[in-house]
Structure 1
């Protein structure tokens, strides 16, 4: 081992022109380099995961070297141009920010502003100076060149291939492409907010997710959908866009069933979709479905719920709480039935103590 430590500035003509000094160094610490040929001016590429070429950090060749793009203002129009330049479809292209970030490449472009119709990225408006943190690398997810496209509006949703107009495979429009949602039963990731989708479609009740396999899926667009309880639009949700790194496929396509509710109605939402008579208890109040807190939900309460739904009281029991991943409003906290009532609305109840009933505190029942 001759020279163990080098200090170079990158402008030296040879390695020995750098500052260096010798010191002991184990053979397991051999230094290495990876050299690249000069790139073609204006070329772009996607870097991130070596197994896939259709998504990653956007790099652009300027003055013979690769560099990144500051993601300030980066949007789907910009991503469309990158994808078109790389031979992919401009439709369904998704702009990503802080995507597959690195810390060694310079920023070549700032404030990129494409209309989406340009043939190359350098035909867009941009600046070569600006300020950006080294984690703000712009990225893109591209779709295959043959993907079907539509003049749909971003974040519009629809239900297709259902038995009725109130149900079907859930699709979302992103950059003029309709695509589906991934969803897995009782999985913290790969969630779909069925309630919000149904509200977007004009239903005043809630919705539930079920699962289908679809051989006709053109494209999966969303791997996970995380919305706050205060969200009124899908635009306000955090969407994790689908790539081949997502652990879902057409076997995990989400479908949604929407419900309008009648004031005072009661229903059971099946747990894991196994049994119609076992599930979360939901009540319709002020035009929306909501839950009952499980803290004081006893077998007496469950028996009245089941009688209300047409089952017998005998053998009907409270299951406490079952964990559901779609969050709905809490309508009743303290339900106090004797078991003799015919309807839960004949039972004393209150909304006091809501602070003790957190998310996933919904009462469930098994009817007989």
Structure 2
């Protein structure tokens, strides 16, 4: 799953991968419950808006899902009820889009490339770090998978990539390794810790997995930012 043509990986046109091809989702019966499943699957918190179709442009290729009806607890959009893969009565001007608040998304900071660095996680409008108490390879594996960087090669502790700033948001993280996002792993809870930034956790991943990278179009992002500005004024 990905959000395409948005200004960040947590907003854009919904596209889903099936049998090796990316396709779109029709807006028939689409609602905030469905959008929340998308945001959670991508590690982007919860949905804060469902922009009108065409906000992020029309998709191309197949329309894979129609009349999606999620209950809200599904781990992936493909688990929700629909008419079935490729069964629809739609056109691409009906492609759905989502804007998520971004809680739970991950970035790697101060590394040699985008696939290594200090682990930082987004929560309630701010980026914070993760404490290295109980930090291990299974936790690093979930991080690498979430950011589209393949397998974890090493986990790092003791602020290996330098001290972070701001809040320490997670401590005693204990992933099994199968979780889709780091915030789905056990921890003490948001903001609960007994750490200092000298304990900031880090990872080194194998490298970019191009199949999971969200497409991005600068002109579309600029148009969307202008739309938000106009709405605000």
Task: Sort the TM-score into its range (normalised by shorter chain).
Answer: 0.3 to 0.5
**Higher RCO, 1 vs 2 (CA within 8 Å, ≥6 residues apart):** 2
Larger radius of gyration: 1
Q: Identify the structure with the greater strand proportion.
A: 1
Q: Identify the structure with the greater helix proportion.
A: 2
